Amino acid sequence: DLSLLQQKIERLELLLSNNNRLVATLRDTLIQRKASWEKGRGANGSSGSARQLPGCRLAEEIKEGTDEVQLLDVYDLLPFDNPDGGAWKQGFDIRYQGNEWDEQPLEVFLVPHSHNDPGWLKTFDRYYEDQTKHILDNMLIKLSEDSRRKMIWAEISYFSKWWNGINEQKREAVKRLVGAGQLEIVTGGWVMADEANSHYFAMLDQLMEGHQWIQRHLGVKPITGWAVDPFGHSPSMAYLLKGAGLSHMVIQRVHYAIKKHFSQQRTLEFLWRQSWDSSPRSDITCHMMPFYSYDVPHTCGPNPAVCCQFDFHRLPGGRVFCPWRIPPQPITEQNVQERALLLLDQYRQKSRLFRSPVLMVPLGDDFRFVEASEWDAQFTNYQKLFDYFDQHPELHVKARFGTLSDYFSALSRRVAAGTTLPTVRGDFFTYADRDDHYWSGYFTSRPFYKRLDRMLEATLRATEILFSLTLAEMRRLHGDGRLAAGFPAREHFGRLTAGRRSLALFQHHDAVAGTARDHVVVDYGNR
């Protein structure tokens, strides 16, 4: 009926008008309060009452020295322009003398990784069958061949599926690799969760589901976080990771202007503290990757055309190539010196962005290390470069394969020896990877599925509470703690676990965000 449609349109227009007035009022109020704070008069009487509460302090008032970074202040300071920085397009020219490492040699940890999206261009199951299964199969073989080889893994949704399909002998081999420090489980969540749309309950749910699986099957607890693909980073996630027992974390997708500023100030390694906390209780050591992406061309140093030459998966004859048209070369006795010095130059330039001579260099990309040939190409060629560094102590560099724990342990030793890390408060939203390409559409895209997420979350929580109460009552009826006969506790718990894992899977940064392909989103919904 057209008249009914007209009424609905008029109502929407009225609501929109009211919303615009509300936003304008909030904006004007914030401007007035900010002006009064800057003049030192305080906002109003309510802020005075807040000051009287023990431990309650405005973030604006918390100043513990010159080495504190308030991100709101940084956002006000930066012009958010994008001048051409040369080889490092979004940065600047990095210079060094060459003798900076004479007293303290450069420590380089090359961290192999493979970012496995639990759904994006393909569904979760299709990715597993086509790629992830082969990555983990080869991981077990190739890490076992040489104790110097290492790798990190983040997505427990995939790892648990693979675990269910391997025999006991292979499971014991995995445990040995974990125990020896060759394989590190990082973050330990069911997925690498989105940090903007996810409710904190769902963020915790996927974290607990992953950690409980790890504890049950591997007997370890993750201590380092790895979030290289969520589109912006929240201090709430840092707070949850700290509460879950993690002490260090790595982030990547931060606005390029913020990365440049942090690089200039050498604050890429910092203590991330909650804005409301006046003590270091909530601190978690955080490493912000300085360059455009987490792939090999953007991790060894500021020049992607050079770094791409050290991605040996792109050797001539393969399916992947360097867009800068300078391919990698296999490392031989004839070229090892030239290749090693070229790579060392990038390592040294990158290290000048940090306060300590400890450098973390990721080696990987999306769904890397699928084929055994890539494992061989990467590990064999890099080991030749590392051996050359070891044979030439005058270069003052020690490079090796490592995990995040290896890197953060070395950084902690430097901090204990006198290196200071700044404290940072605030969040890293909204993300932009270039120019004014702000990644804000995913805050509201696919609203049906975002609503479905919240409905499942609420239903799951209510069902968990009901199950717990029922379980307690079934034990009480017996009087000795045993369950009443006939109560199918295991079956009910299995259904709850399936629901938790479906909710956890949807917290993936391409799922609740709405950035996956249509058929993938439908697959999430069907689950």
Q: What single string gives the DSSP state of each residue in 53-72?
A: STT---GGG---STTEEEHH
User: For the segment 68-84, what is each residue's pLDDT rounded down to a tens digit?
Assistant: 999 999 999 999 999 99
Q: Determine whether 164 is exposed, middle or buried from the number of CB atoms within 10 Å of its CB (0-12, 13-18, 19+).
A: exposed
Nearest Cα residue to 523 out of 454, 461, 457, 449: 449
Which residues on adjacent β-strands are paired with residue 185? 153
Q: Which helix (H) or strand (E) holds 466?
A: helix 447-478
Which are the contacts of 207, defined by CB distance < 8 A and separation ≥ 6? Answer: 187, 188, 189, 190, 193, 240, 241, 244
Where do runs of H (alpha helix) occur along 39-132? 45-52, 71-77, 124-127
Residue 420 pLDDT grade (very low, low, confident, very high; cuts 50, 70, 90):
very high
pLDDT above 70 for 362: yes
pLDDT tier for residue 7 given thresholds of 50, 70 and 90: confident
What CATH superfamily is the domain 106-157+222-425?
Answer: Glycoside hydrolase 38, N terminal domain (3.20.110.10)
Decide if pLDDT at 147 tops 90. Answer: yes
Q: Examine the residue annotation and report whether 229 is marked as an active-site residue of this protein.
A: yes
Q: What is the mean pLDDT of residues 285-312?
A: 98
What are the boundaries of each domain within the chain? 2-56, 106-157+222-425, 188-211+445-527
- Banded model confidence at residue 40, pLDDT cuts 50, 70, 90: low
Q: 54-63, 110-119, 241-250: which range is least confident on average? A: 54-63
Compute the average pLDDT of residues 490-510.
Answer: 96
Q: Is the pLDDT of residue 124 over 50?
A: yes
**pLDDT computed for residue 15 by the predictor:** 86
Over residues 186-225, the pLDDT tens digits come to 999 999 999 999 999 999 999 999 999 999 999 999 999 9
| Inter-residue contact 101 to 397 (CB < 8 Å) | yes
Q: In what order do the strands lie in the sheet with 284-288?
A: 68-70, 423-425, 269-273, 284-288, 248-251, 224-227
Two tokens, residue 94: 């990095």
For residue 148, is pLDDT > 90? yes
| pLDDT mean over 174-197 | 98
Q: Which two tokens stand for residue 468?
A: 């717990």
CATH topology of domain 188-211+445-527: Substrate Binding Domain Of Dnak; Chain:A; Domain 2 (1.20.1270)
Query: What confidence tier does 5 reach under pLDDT thresholds 50, 70, 90?
Result: confident
Question: CA-CA distance, 513 to 118, in Å (whole number)?
Answer: 13
pLDDT value at position 50? 45
Q: What is the rounded average pLDDT of the residues 404-425?
A: 95
The three state secondary structure string of 280-325 is HHHCEEEEECCCCCCCHHHCCCCCHHHHHHHCHHHCCCCCCCCCCC
**Is the pLDDT score of 486 beyond 60?**
yes
Residues 209 and 173 sit within 8 Å (Cβ to Cβ): no
Which of 507, 527, 515 has the alpha carbon at shortest distance from 187?
507
Give the per-residue pLDDT at 236. Answer: 97
CA distance linking residue 175 with residue 488, whole number of Å: 33
Share of the chain above pLDDT 70, in %: 94
Residue in this structure with the two tokens 């199951």, named with its chain if needed: 125
Least confident of 53-62, 138-147, 242-251: 53-62
Q: What is the pLDDT of residues 321-345, one digit of tens each?
A: 999 999 999 999 999 999 999 999 9
d(CA 233, CA 255) in angstroms, rounded, equals 10
Q: Is the dihedral of CA 395, 398, 400, 403 positive or negative?
A: negative
The answer to whether the 106-157+222-425 and 188-211+445-527 domains have the same CATH topology is: no
19 pLDDT more than 60? yes
Q: Do residues 189 and 220 lie in contact, with contact meaning Cβ atoms separated by under 8 Å?
A: no
Q: Rounded to an integer, what distance in angstroms lies between the CA atom of residue 348 and that of residue 397?
A: 9
| Active-site annotation holder among 229, 311, 365, 523 | 229
**Across the chain, what does the average pLDDT equal?**
93
